[in-house]
């Protein structure tokens, strides 16, 4: 809910989205909690939001969900929503 960014399930964030601008450089990022060890969030105030929690797809769905499970459908949806084509760099290794 505005002004809170990200994707929420109730009062718990499952996906964080961030943008930083400075020195003529824009950085952006996205973190989707798939099977994250959520106990680490017990030691901090996630995203600086008092009284809010963090969840994961695994916790919400009641089964183990890995990044490999969601990567392809996520990228396909991203392309559809933003009307773009993702281009992948070749592995330098």
Does residue 49 form part of some domain?
yes
**Residue ranges making up the domain that contains 72:** 7-82
Q: What's the pLDDT at 91? A: 66
Q: Confidence band (pLDDT; 50, 70, 90) for 74? A: very high
Angstrom CA distances, 50 to 21, 43, 74, 90, stand at 25, 12, 29, 41
Q: What is the mean pLDDT of residues 46-63?
A: 90
Q: For residue 36, tell me if it sits in a domain.
A: yes
Mean pLDDT in the chain?
88
Positions annotated as catalytic residues are 47
Say yes or no to pLDDT of 90 above 70: yes
Report pLDDT digits (tens) over 31-50.
Answer: 899 999 999 998 988 878 88
Question: Residue 74's Cα: distance from chain center in Å?
Answer: 11
Positive or negative CA dihedral for 71, 76, 82, 88? positive
Whether residue 2 is contained in a domain is answered as no
The domain total for the chain is 1
| pTM for the model | 0.77
């Amino acid at each position: 809910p505005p002004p809170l960014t990200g994707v929420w399930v109730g009062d718990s964030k499952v996906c964080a989205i961030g943008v930083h601008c400075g020195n003529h450089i824009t950085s952006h990022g996205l973190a989707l909690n798939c099977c994250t060890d959520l106990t680490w969030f017990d030691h901090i105030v996630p995203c600086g939001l008092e009284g809010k929690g963090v969840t994961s797809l695994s916790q919400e769905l009641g089964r183990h969900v890995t990044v490999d499970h969601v990567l392809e459908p996520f990228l396909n949806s991203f392309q559809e929503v933003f009307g773009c084509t993702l281009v992948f760099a070749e592995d330098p290794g």
